[in-house]
């Protein structure tokens, strides 16, 4: 099986300013090498807005158009979430944009009630797995990380993408839970958090790529807009799963 090169982009997000944030990311892309997949944080174009009125972007926004153009230009997939307004409902929508223009998305299921996200946003109900260049990828957003049943591997994916706006005071939980998800699901985890601050919180990053053993393959520097890259080795994953078939002994369950 072919390897997949992933680049994570840990960004400082200007509040409610999609044009400025896209420009920042474009400048970061200019310093990146080639990759199969580029991953951006949660609500990378606006910052994490729990009151999205006047901030959320429409379906087919300029930001999504930019993602399509950049994916085609780079011959790579782009992934990141955007605050979206559709039919008078707001969604924290995690877009996965293929280089051929195909767009798949996951609407965040676990809305962050502690911060009031549930008051304005509509929760998603569908678990979404993307197939891209031989890797099956589960899409998850921030607070989803705390709910392992939602991410439980049913032998249907190889890697989880977590995009987040995870505040500094709880970053220890972020670091521990990412490794737990990788180990318990025998998968790679690619996690991208933001840095900087918004009107409510401060963020220090902690973006990383973690292998199925819980080891860190690559990580961004804390409190800095930067990138990191790693290679997803599917042969290593398959060999580990065959040698130590943990998922065969998983408890059966059903999400109601």
- Options 24, 68, 70, 108, the catalytic residue: 108
> DSSP letters of the chain?
---EEEEEEE-BPPTT-HHHHHHHHHHHHTT----SEEE--TTTTT---SS-TTTSEETT-HHHHHHHHHHHHHTSEEEEEEEEEETTEEEEEEEEE-TTS-EEEEE-SS--GGGTGGGTBPPP----EEEETTEEEEEEEGGGGG-HHHH---S--SEEEEEE---GGGHHHHHHHHHHHHHHTTSEEEEEE-EEE-SS-EEE---EEE-TTS-EEEEPPTTS-EEEEEEE-HHHHHHHHHHS-GGGGPPP----
- Options 49, 142, 204, 226, the catalytic residue: 142
Known catalytic residue at 108: yes
Known catalytic residue at 220: no
Contact yes or no for 27/11 (Cβ under 8 A): no
- Options 42, 57, 85, 117, the catalytic residue: 42
159-164 and 188-193 as β-strands: parallel, antiparallel, unpaired?
parallel
Known catalytic residue at 204: no
Handedness of CA 30, 34, 37, 41 (dihedral sign): negative
| Active site members | 42, 108, 142
């Amino acid at each position: 099986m072919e390897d997949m090169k992933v680049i994570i982009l840990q960004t400082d997000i200007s509040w409610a300013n999609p044009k400025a944030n896209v420009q920042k990311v474009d400048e970061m892309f200019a310093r990146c090498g080639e990759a199969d997949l580029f991953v951006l944080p949660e609500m990378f174009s606006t910052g994490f807005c729990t009151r999205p009125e006047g901030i959320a972007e429409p379906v087919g926004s300029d930001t999504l158009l930019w993602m399509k153009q950049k994916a085609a230009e780079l011959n790579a997939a782009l992934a990141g979430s955007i605050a979206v307004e559709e039919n008078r409902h707001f969604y924290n929508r995690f877009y996965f944009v293929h280089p051929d223009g195909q767009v798949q998305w996951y609407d965040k299921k676990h809305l962050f009630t502690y911060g009031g996200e549930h008051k304005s946003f509509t929760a998603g109900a569908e678990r979404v797995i993307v197939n891209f260049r031989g890797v099956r990828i589960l899409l998850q957003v921030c607070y989803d990380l705390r709910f392992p049943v939602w991410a439980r591997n049913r032998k249907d994916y190889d890697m989880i993408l977590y995009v987040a706006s995870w505040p500094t005071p709880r970053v220890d939980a972020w670091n521990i839970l990412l490794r737990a998800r990788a180990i318990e699901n025998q998968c790679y985890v690619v996690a991208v958090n933001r840095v900087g601050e918004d009107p409510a919180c401060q963020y220090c990053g902690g973006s990383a790529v973690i292998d199925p053993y819980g080891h860190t393959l690559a990580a961004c520097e804390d409190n800095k807009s930067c990138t990191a890259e790693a290679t997803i080795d599917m042969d290593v994953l398959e060999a580990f799963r065959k040698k130590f078939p943990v998922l065969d002994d998983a408890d059966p369950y059903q999400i109601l």
